Structure 1
C-alpha cells in the first residue's frame, strides 16, 4: 500500500524555535543521537512520554520515513499526535536551520517521487495522467502533487489547498525556497471559496479516508461544482482504517461505486495502487 505523510488535525508549529537537536511537543520528545547507527530511528515509552531517538543525516530526510516512523511510534504506544510530532521533530532535529530543514525534506521527497522510488510515486503519476488543464488540489498537505505538476509545466495553473493555514504557509514559503513556487489557499474542502467551474480538474488524493461519509460527500459535490471537466479521487484500500495516520474509514471497489451512484454522475472506478473514482462533469 502506498503511504505518505498524513494530514494533521492540528496546526503543527513546523517553524517554531527549538534547541538544536531537540524537539518536544505534548508528550513526545525527539532527540538527535549520533551514538546510534547511521539512519536509525528508535522510540520507547518513558514516564508517559514517547521518546524518539535518531541518527539521520540531511540526505535521509524524506517522506519515505513515514513507514518506519509509524512502526516505531506505534510499537512505543504512540498514536496520531505522537506520530505527527515525531515526523516534524525528525526534520527539525536533523538540520538546525528550520527553513533549510524543510527545504531539504521537500527536495529529497520530490526526488524520490520523480525517480519512482517513493511508494506514492505510482499514485501521483496516474493522477497527473488523469488531469487536464488547470488543477485545484484538495487536502494537499505538504503539497507534493501540486509541486510535481508545477515542476512539469511552470505555466500550468495549479492551486494547492488544505484546511490548515500553517501547512499552506509552509508549502508556499518552502516552494519558493526550492524554486518551484505554487499558489496555495487555506480552505475547507467541503466548503470551497471558489466560483462554479473555476478550474478544469479537481483532485482529491488520499483525502476521503480522513473524513466521514457525510463530509466526504460534501467534498465531492463541491469538487464537482468547481470543476469544469473532471474530478479525480484516489483512496487507499485498507482492511481497517490506519488510525495512526488519521484515517476514519476504509474503502474498496464496491464502496467507491456506491459513492458514484449517490452523487448521480457519470463516473468510472478502477484499481491502481488503491482505488480510483473519476468523474467527468463536462
Structure 2
C-alpha cells in the first residue's frame, strides 16, 4: 500500500492527526486519563486495532525542536518505536495537534525554537523548557553548532544544503545576508517558505537533491552543509561535497556530529569521522582545507 508523504501543513480535526501510518492525539489539559501500556512523562503509546496511536499533553508554549530529544529518549531509544520515517511522522503530528490551525502550530514551534537557540547561545536560562536530557537532538547541544557555522560564513550570499526546518538559514538571513535554503523535502521547503515571512526574514527556498542543485557555478559566497552528510551514503555525501565546491565562490563549510554509531531515529546512515573529513579536504583540488573539532567535526574549504 502506498502511503502519502508527510504534509507539514495538513489540517487536524479535533486535535487529532492521521496520516495513514500513525495517529497522534493531544490529551485535554484537564484529562486525568492515560492511554496504553507504554506511558512516558510526555507520551502514551497504544495500538488501537491496526492503528498506532500516540497521545501527548504538550501545548503551544512547550513545543520546540527539543521535541526531537523527547521522542528519541522516551519512545525511540527504548525501542518502543523504530525508524526515521515514523519519527518524522510522529514529530509532525505532535506539532500539528498543538493548535487548531497548522500555521499557528508551526509558528509557535519556530518561535519557541529560535528563542531557545538564542538563549542557549547566550547561555541564558530557557523559559518553558521541555527539559530534554543533553544529547543529539537537543537545542542546547546544537545551538553552539549553529553559532560555529554562523561564525564561519564569509561574504554576503549563502546557500545552505539540507536545510531541513531552516533554523540556521533564518538566523543567517536575519544577520542581513542573502540566503537560499535547499532540501530534498519539498514539504519542508514549503513550510520554511511559509514561516520565514512571519519572522520578517527573506529566505529563498529550493527543493533538490544536494548533489544536483539547479544553480550555476559560483552561485554563493559560502555554501553550508551542516549536519547533512551523515544522512547520506558515503558516495552520495562525497558527491554533495563536490557540488558544494562547484557552487561556492569562496568557502564551503561542512559540519557533522561525531558519533560512535549513527543515530537511526534521526536518519543517520553512517558516522563521519575526523579522518573522513581530512580525506575529503585532501581530495578537494584547488581548495585549502582545515579540519577542526567543536561540538562535532568541521571541514572548512577556502579557494586556492
How high is the TM-score relative to the length of structure 2? 0.84
Number of the residue aligned with 2:135:
none
SS of residue matched to 1:104: helix
Number of the residue aligned with 2:154:
132
Poorly superposed stretches of 4+, deviation over 6 Å: none
SS of residue matched to 1:231: strand
Number of the residue aligned with 2:123:
none
In structure 1, how many angstroms separate the alpha carbons of the residues matched to 2:248 and 2:116?
30
Q: Deviations over 1:56-84 (max 9, x none)?
A: 11111100111111123313233222211
Which of 67, 70, 73 matches 1:68?
Answer: 70
Number of the residue aligned with 1:147:
170
Number of the residue aligned with 2:59:
57
Computed over aligned residues only, the root mean square deviation of the Cα atoms, in angstroms, reads 1.9
Q: Deviations over 1:122-151 (max 9, x none)?
A: 001010000011110000010000100111
1:87 corresponds to 2:91: yes
1:253 corresponds to 2:274: yes
Number of the residue aligned with 1:200:
221
SS of residue matched to 2:87: helix
In structure 2, how many angstroms separate the alpha carbons of the residues matched to 1:40 and 1:175?
32
Quickly say closer, same or farther: Cα 1:50–1:66, change in 2 above 3 A: same
Query: For the pair shown, which has the larger CA radius of gyration, 1 or 2?
Result: 2
1:21 corresponds to 2:20: no
Give the Å deviation of 1:192: 1.3
Which of 103, 116, 120 matches 1:112?
Answer: 116
Structure 2: tracts of 5 or more residues without a match: 34-39, 121-125, 127-138
In structure 2, how many angstroms separate the alpha carbons of the residues matched to 1:12 and 1:197?
33
Give the Å deviation of 1:19: 0.8
Number of the residue aligned with 1:5:
none
Number of the residue aligned with 1:41:
42
Which of 212, 223, 228 matches 1:191?
Answer: 212
Single out whichever of 193-202 and 41-50 deviates more from structure 2: 41-50
Quickly say closer, same or farther: Cα 1:167–1:77, change in 2 above 3 A: closer
How high is the TM-score relative to the length of structure 1? 0.90
SS of residue matched to 1:94: coil
In structure 2, how many angstroms separate the alpha carbons of the residues matched to 1:231 and 1:43?
43
User: 2:12, 2:101 within 8 Å by CA — same for their partners in 1?
Assistant: no
> When the two structures are aligned, how many residues end up with a matched partner?
270
Give the Å deviation of 1:276: 0.5
1:224 corresponds to 2:245: yes
